[in-house]
Every structure is written in C-alpha cells, then in structure tokens.
Amino acid sequence: MLMEKQYTRSDVDVLLSAEQISKRTAELGGQISLDYADIEQPLIIVGILKGGYVFTADLARSIDISVEVDFLRVASYHGGTETTGEVTYILDLDRDIEGRDVLLVEDIVDTGTTMKSLLRHLGLRNPKSLKIASLLEKPEKNTAGIKVDYLGFAIENKFVVGYGLDVDEQLRELPFVGVMKNT
C-alpha cells in the first residue's frame, strides 16, 4: 500500500495569522451587512466546498442581517498543486436562487477558472444579484478577469494552506494561512 505523505504545522510558515484573518473577516462582514441592509429576503450565502468551509462559517457569523447558508462543491484540482482548468460539479445547491441575492464564498481566486464557471452556472438560474467574497486572491494569476467584490487579502503567487485550504486534503484545519516551507 502506498503511504500518503503526512503534513503538520511544522511544514508551514505563517503568512496570515488567525488574528489578522478574524479582524479582516469582521470588516468584510460589516460591509456586507451594510450593502445588503435593504434586501427583502435573506441573503443566500453559498460556501464553495471544500476550501471555503472555514471562511464561510466565520464570515456568516460576522454578518448581522438575515442569511441562509448553502454549499456547492466543485473540484478543479485533482491532487496536485496546479489547476487542471476543468471544473467538476460534485454537489449542487438544494434550493432555488431565482430572484434572490446570492453571495459566493471562496477560499481563494487563483486563475479564476473556478469562479468564472460558478458565475456562469449560477447566473443561468437568474438570481437577483450574484457577488463574490473570497478570503484570498492571487492577483498576478487572475487571468479570467474575475472581480472579487469582498476580498480578504491579495497575496503573492505562492501555494498556501490552512483556514480551509489544503495540500493533498491535509492542513485545512490550521487556524491561520501559511506557506509550505519547501515551495
């Protein structure tokens, strides 16, 4: 049996601390609460699994208007650290978003391929509005020209892990965002 390589905290240098992330998340939550203060039905927050699960939980808890939380699961990476350019839908929303305000919540916009596909996919269902919140963005690589409406941090073009982001499905549980030491 091929043994999986195991990663731990010691493989990672901190890039964004838990404190920095929570401060920024609170700011974004405040801004979102203001921007959507007058909507007639609850804001639908769509967390993008798996990477977006931590940011979705924290952002939703920093918003003080009515929200509904749903999840979508896509995969664009198949194990490695480079995108395949192909987006596979693994789990779809369980409710109708027609006429509703929808906020997609992602961990990171890298090449923008995933977001571009999501915007097209969900746009076809005629939401009232469709915006993007992402904890991270690698502006250097944002080739699909995606505009992130609520951005946590712009980072350098390095492979990052933690706070939902994985390396071979590991290290998602780190409370901070870090850079792999050997990359």
Task: List interacting residues with ligand IMP (CB under 6 A).
Answer: 51, 76-77, 83, 106-115, 159-161, 165
Q: Where are the beta strands (DSSP E) in the chain?
A: 12-16, 43-49, 67-75, 88-91, 101-109, 129-137, 150-154, 160-161, 177-180
Binding mask 118-157 for Mg ion (x = CB under 5 A): ----------------------------------------
Q: Which tokens belong to 29?
A: 């939550």
Query: Across the chain, which distance is largest between two alpha carbons, in Å?
Result: 57
Query: Which are the contacts of 103, defined by CB distance < 8 A and separation ≥ 6?
Result: 32, 43, 44, 45, 46, 131, 132, 133, 150
Burial class (CB in 10 A: 0-12, 13-18, 19+), 168: middle
Q: Does 164 bind Mg ion (CB under 5 A)?
A: no
Using CB distances below 5 to 8 A depending on partner kind, what does residue 29 bind out of ligand IMP, Mg ion, none?
Answer: none
Among 58, 101, 107, 110, the active-site one is 110
CB of 135 to ligand IMP, least distance (A): 10
* Whether residue 110 lies in the annotated active site: yes
Stretch that binds Mg ion, among 9-17, 43-51, 62-70, 95-103 (CB under 5 A): 43-51
Q: Does 51 bind Mg ion (CB under 5 A)?
A: yes
CB of 34 to ligand IMP, least distance (A): 27
For the annotated catalytic residues, the residue numbers are: 110
